[in-house]
Homo-oligomer: A and B are copies of this chain.
């Protein structure tokens, strides 16, 4: 099995809990991510308590999946640990992606629920979980055992691949999709 290629978002979970050992493996995977200048500017809050998960769903309606999944991992970025300015969100994204792939590898499912850079979502989670000011809630990851079978979608799109350089004459490739012409801004 190739977990990178077979991974997909899981939205429905069984009630089977995830063991502390497996949760720790997911966190080990997260911290195995590369980071700019090896800064590792991350923290993780593991949330199993049902009341907390229900509160999250109340303050973030799009995140109701965390009431259904038996656990959630809050990935946070710590700006004070950053060596290269602006890289912490990328480091946290790599760590989050590692959790998703590792969950697939371990026969579980996961879903990435974005928080950063949306101020309202960040503040809501900060208030609920008492996250200090120098730490930014980055993403919530729902984890558990899938209650659905989904074939991985094929998102391969050859039109996004260019060889050696940007194709000067390729139709549509030099104009943004939304019709704005940034060249004349």
Instruction: Find out whether the CB atom of B5 lies under 8 angstroms from the CB atom of A28.
Output: yes
A152 to chain B, nearest CB (A): 7
Instruction: Find out whether the CB atom of B112 lies under 8 angstroms from the CB atom of A34.
Output: yes
Instruction: Find out whether the CB atom of A129 lies under 8 angstroms from the CB atom of B166.
Output: yes
Instruction: Sort chain A's interface into a size bin.
Output: 35 or more
The complex places the Cα of A131 from the Cα of B173 at a distance, in Å, of: 10
The complex places the Cα of A89 from the Cα of B132 at a distance, in Å, of: 24
Closest to A25 in B: B5
**Is A107 in contact with chain B by the CB < 8 A criterion?**
no
A159 to chain B, nearest CB (A): 9
**Is A130 in contact with chain B by the CB < 8 A criterion?**
yes
A35 to chain B, nearest CB (A): 9
**Is A149 in contact with chain B by the CB < 8 A criterion?**
no
Q: Scoring A residues 71 to 106 as 1 if CB is less than 8 Å from chain B, else 0, what string do you get?
A: 000000011110010110110011011101110010
Q: Which of A47, A81, A114 counts the most B-chain CB atoms under 10 A from its CB? A: A114
A158 to chain B, nearest CB (A): 9
CB contacts under 8 Å to B, within A113-154, are: 114, 116-118, 129-135, 152
A98 to chain B, nearest CB (A): 5
A99 to chain B, nearest CB (A): 9
Instruction: Find out whether the CB atom of B97 lies under 8 angstroms from the CB atom of A160.
Output: no
Specify which chain B residues have a CB less than 8 angstroms from the CB of A178 in the assembled complex: 80
Contact of A97 among B93, B175, B183 (CB under 8 A): B93
Q: Would you give 18 A-B contacts (Cβ < 8 Å), ordered by A? A: A4-B101, A4-B105, A24-B161, A28-B156, A31-B156, A32-B152, A32-B155, A40-B157, A40-B160, A46-B161, A78-B177, A79-B176, A80-B178, A80-B180, A89-B93, A94-B96, A133-B185, A134-B182
